[in-house]
Structure 1
Amino acid sequence: MQNVNWTAFFIFLALFAFITWLGFAAAHWRKGDLDQLHEWGLGGRRFGTLITWFLIGGDLYTAYTFIAVPALAFGAGAVAFFAVPYTIVAYPILFLAFPRLWYVCHRHNYITAADFVRGRFGNRWLALAMAVTGIIATLPYIALQLVGLQVVIGGLGISGAGYAGDLPLVIAFIILAAFTYSSGLRAPASIAIVKDILIYLTAFAAVVVIPIQLGGFAKIFAAIPPAKLLLATPGANTTGSYGAYATLALGSAFALFLYPHSITGILSASSGRAVRRNAALLPAYSFMLGLLALVGFFAIAAGVSKLPEYADGFKQFGNNFAVPALFLHSFPSWFVGIAFAAVGIGALVPAAIMSIAAANLYTRNIHREFINGAPTDRQEAQMAKWVSLIVKFGALVFIVFVPSKYAIYLQLLGGIWIIQTLPAVMLGVYTRWFNDWALLIGWAAGIVTGTAMFIAANLTPTYALAIGHLTFPGYAALYAVIVNLVVTVVLTLLFTPLRSGSADETAAAEYQAPSQAG
């Protein structure tokens, strides 16, 4: 690895110091009683359109996204661009379903999606399944933010063996834990504004400056191996890479807003109207994501993997080092500091929201439901604060002591699992027709099927489904949720005569704005 880039390091450090101050100061922003869970864990549900845009954008477009998407384009080529259509498809889903979820959750003071499922279907075990799925799917996502942070810290030239090499990472997450504990969701909401401004600045600078340096886009694309420019043409009797690309985009779109951190961002909005506006405005991030995917092609054209000064970085981090190497090669040190800080801060924002979301789920749907059924507001908020610390500490221990590839495997598996909450959560905002026990059994069938496909595909999310002489490689999560839905529908038809009549706390009028009701 290269020597420490002191100019970049001090700019990186200065921006980190600023967002640390901002994280603690956020406790006094739109001040509320942080001894109440909805104030600590949802920001008092008072974020307007603009703040929600920054918060959800900062939540979904993580440090690992900004490292991994260009790295995928660098290593595998065109398949990396699946991230663009999937986010485009996701926003109509946000527009249609999630304002309805916001309205009913606001009416009943639901903090989590599992709260909604508990109220809608009256089954504590179904709600527990939703909560456990959300927590397990979120934990490796937090760990992956550390991977992004590790890469940019390494890019600054700060490295070492053993505990000394992990010290900067430990310090960063102690800071994260401290301001999340003290300020709750207000901290990542305020920091997300800084993070997104830096990310947009970095992305636009990259797509303007680097192509000029490399002689224009024509020369860049001429330098890309033809096999990476387009998806491979399918062979006979198979949809090949086309089917895998399409199902990966579609399945990811359905899963995106089912993650607990996504729902936390949505429920923190001040109104369902703010959620709808964000569904219209958030595609701006999709445009930026397309630009970032192009950065992977820039790295190929610049030949950074062949430069000896970056050999150690690629050896340590693999293709994930493509973006740091490109920026080190293309920009002056002061701008490298800004770009790396953007990615580093991009790790802290989603990690904070994810830990808060997991803490909310545990506190409301496990601890309150099965351990302490009548906590005071202060006890409930305090439990969530402690759990958020434990979650972050667990992610840090995992990434320090376990190879990062296992965090990636678990995150891929988490995507397969989280989509199994779709029938109860996303379809639940439209209908109460499903039987609660049928939903639980369907969820279990989807989890088992998806996990089996993931294992059979050698720990990859693309499963080759064989039907007769035809093969349909596709996203295991999408196949598994189809199994989930079929089982749920069939069992609902069978169980309907035996329906126990579990109570629905919600009413039809609560799923729309008051001006639309009646």
Structure 2
Amino acid sequence: MTGLDVPALLGFAAVLVLASALAVTARWFRRADVLPTPTEWALAGRRFGTVTTWFLMGGTIYTAYTFLAVPGVVYAQGAIGFFALPYTVIVYPLAFWLLPRLWREARDVGAVTIADVVRVRYDSPGLALAVALTGILVTMPYVALQLLGIRTVLVVLGVYPAGVVGDLLLALVFAVLAVATYRNGLRAAAVIAFFKGVLVFAAIVVVVVLLGDPADVFGEAERRAGGPQDVVAGVDGGVVTTHLGPGLSSAYVSLAVGSALALLVYPHVLTAAFAARGEGVLRRNSMALLGWTAVLGLFALLGVAAHGMGIVAGEGRAELAVPMLVERLMPGWAAGLVFGALAIGALVPASVMSVAAAMLFTRNVYVEYVNPNTTPKAQNGIARVVSLLVKFGALSFAVLLPAQDTINLQLLGGVWVLQTFAAVALGPVGRLLTAPGLLAGWAVGMLSGTLLVTTGGFSAVVVIGGLQVYAALVALAANLVVAVAVSALVDRARRSG
């Protein structure tokens, strides 16, 4: 953050302009004369093969903010930040089992959204509405978080001043994405995802090579700490461990497991999965997506490398550590290309998220409760407008709210979306749970999860029985207990009646 770096800015702008051009012209990459239907706009006609799905799902799951926040947590708090790695390993065996089943169920009933699947599976508009509204609710701060990722890069470039000028610049960067998604739906995200994947993989390889011998990097971090092995200096002058401290194991494991379960029921992840050509595509990707986890692991290690390089991001600004490290290692133009890769890393998930939220509103709120006779063409038109509203709503979040408030809302979003797990993911296992039971469990989980997080000062981890546990898992446990109990009562009432 040493002021405006013109070569870096030019490199950044070149990447962004090329990505924008690809997104706006996405429909030309595979032209087809098809009717404008929700399946075409939101799922690209379910025609994506293995390679396209790999880039799209990887680009959707591994967001720009992830590549900045994970090493930022490692930089600021130490080993607890590495929980993101086991969770993205745990999730894929679950995805191998779950996603093909959900894809088949969605195709068989003509579903576009996961709430469509729940609506047909349980014959319950109310439960489908709960799933849809939860999906919309958790998506808004998630899109806003991608904007914070772009803003972080702009700050390091020295082109994000405080006030209206900076906010207008952020809006301009995001505006092209809004137009591209409006025109081309999921295809816009898929085209950018190819570009993102190539740039992100190339960027991390170059950065790691420039860092040199990992032993020297960790050794320098230890030397700067002036303490025992496996520690580095914290951003506040204290000490951050690179191994788990006593009592953190339960927090680490529960964060990994809870995050893995939540990831599988996020609307944007399921939207990307539903666009696949078939079940085999999803099974192959459930194994191949581990390549993205390897990249995330390398980014996480940059949090330690930043200490070794003497990077001082400042208290509360740990997400700046990686961009500042890149700026230190590379000439301006090359750093600009890496910053551009991080910026377009935000555009892919933001695009898919807005498509997912728009379809949830259109199909499961508007068509279900306002106008059931809405034609497929009209549904497309409504969804396109709503996708714009989602993006501008998220922009308002990023501009008007302090960054920490957006992060807190996203933290709550992870707790909330996990409360749809029973309705979404347990259906393929069996039909023992009823719609009234699932709805009651969802309500209890939403309330208890919100209270656990907010009364604990917006902490994702709460103390239960002397153990530190992810709040979302505690709420899910309450959710399942209520769902099972109410379902049993409903079944008994039906049999006796």
Summarize deviations over 1:285-315 as a string: whole Å, max 9, x none.
Answer: 111111110000011111111xxxxxxx747
Aligned to 1:342: 341
**C-alpha distance 499-166 of structure 1, shift in aligned 2 (>3 A):** same
**C-alpha distance 496-213 of structure 1, shift in aligned 2 (>3 A):** closer
**C-alpha distance 457-211 of structure 1, shift in aligned 2 (>3 A):** farther
Q: Is the 8 A contact 1:34 1:40 kept in 2?
A: no
Aligned-partner residue type, residue 51 of structure 1: T
C-alpha distance in structure 1 between counterparts of 2:361 and 2:139, whole Å = 12
Aligned-partner residue type, residue 259 of structure 1: Y
Percent of paired sites with the same residue: 41
Q: CA deviation at 1:222?
A: 4.8
Q: CA deviation at 1:212?
A: 4.5
**C-alpha distance 362-435 of structure 1, shift in aligned 2 (>3 A):** same
**Structure-to-structure mapping, 1:336-415, within 5 angstroms:** 336-415=335-414
Runs of 4+ more than 2 Å apart:
28-35, 211-227, 497-501
1:482 aligned onto 2:481: no
Q: CA deviation at 1:397?
A: 1.1
Aligned to 1:87: 88
Q: Is the 8 A contact 1:34 1:381 kept in 2?
A: no
Aligned to 1:510: none
Q: Is the 8 A contact 1:53 1:282 kept in 2?
A: yes
Aligned to 2:235: none
**Structure-to-structure mapping, 1:54-69, within 5 angstroms:** 54-69=55-70
**C-alpha distance 25-497 of structure 1, shift in aligned 2 (>3 A):** same
Aligned to 1:115: 116
Aligned to 1:174: 175
Provide TM-score, normalisation by structure 1: 0.91
Structure 2: which 5+ runs fail to align? 225-230, 233-238
Q: Is the 8 A contact 1:137 1:418 kept in 2?
A: yes
Aligned-partner residue type, residue 64 of structure 2: A
Q: Is the 8 A contact 2:128 2:364 kept in 1?
A: yes
SS in 2 for 1:175: helix
Q: Is the 8 A contact 1:214 1:302 kept in 2?
A: no
Aligned to 1:422: 421
Q: Is the 8 A contact 1:120 1:432 kept in 2?
A: no
Summarize deviations over 1:404-434 as a string: whole Å, max 9, x none.
Answer: 1111001000100101111111001221221
Q: Is the 8 A contact 2:76 2:240 kept in 1?
A: no
SS in 2 for 1:193: helix
Q: CA deviation at 1:34?
A: 6.6
Aligned to 1:31: 31
Aligned to 1:236: none
SS in 2 for 1:474: strand
1:247 aligned onto 2:254: yes
C-alpha distance in structure 2 between counterparts of 1:378 and 1:171, whole Å = 29
Aligned to 1:516: none
Aligned to 2:242: 229
Q: Is the 8 A contact 1:27 1:184 kept in 2?
A: no
**C-alpha distance 351-34 of structure 1, shift in aligned 2 (>3 A):** farther
| Number of aligned positions between the proteins | 483
SS in 2 for 1:463: strand
Q: Is the 8 A contact 1:314 1:320 kept in 2?
A: no
Q: Is the 8 A contact 1:180 1:187 kept in 2?
A: yes
Aligned to 2:3: 3
C-alpha distance in structure 1 between counterparts of 2:448 and 2:214, whole Å = 49
CA RMSD of aligned residues (A): 1.7
Q: CA deviation at 1:91?
A: 0.3
C-alpha distance in structure 1 between counterparts of 2:155 and 2:134, whole Å = 33
C-alpha distance in structure 2 between counterparts of 1:92 and 1:159, whole Å = 41
C-alpha distance in structure 2 between counterparts of 1:34 and 1:168, whole Å = 37
Aligned to 1:320: 319
Q: CA deviation at 1:97?
A: 1.0
Q: Is the 8 A contact 1:35 1:377 kept in 2?
A: yes
SS in 2 for 1:304: coil
C-alpha distance in structure 2 between counterparts of 1:444 and 1:227, whole Å = 39
SS in 1 for 2:462: strand
Q: CA deviation at 1:36?
A: 1.0
Aligned to 1:511: none
Q: Is the 8 A contact 1:143 1:398 kept in 2?
A: yes
Aligned to 1:435: 434
Q: Is the 8 A contact 1:454 1:476 kept in 2?
A: yes
**C-alpha distance 204-222 of structure 1, shift in aligned 2 (>3 A):** farther
SS in 2 for 1:381: helix
Q: Is the 8 A contact 2:7 2:336 kept in 1?
A: yes
Aligned-partner residue type, residue 260 of structure 1: P
Q: CA deviation at 1:335?
A: 1.3
1:494 aligned onto 2:495: no
Aligned-partner residue type, residue 472 of structure 1: L
C-alpha distance in structure 2 between counterparts of 1:356 and 1:254, whole Å = 22
Aligned to 1:135: 136
Structure 1: which 5+ runs fail to align? 234-239, 306-312, 502-518
Q: Out of 282, 285, 292, which is 1:278 matched to?
A: 285
1:295 aligned onto 2:295: no
Q: CA deviation at 1:457?
A: 1.6
1:21 aligned onto 2:21: yes
**C-alpha distance 454-30 of structure 1, shift in aligned 2 (>3 A):** same
Q: Out of 260, 264, 271, which is 2:271 matched to?
A: 264
Q: Is the 8 A contact 1:105 1:267 kept in 2?
A: yes
Aligned-partner residue type, residue 14 of structure 1: A
SS in 2 for 1:473: strand
Aligned-partner residue type, residue 258 of structure 1: V
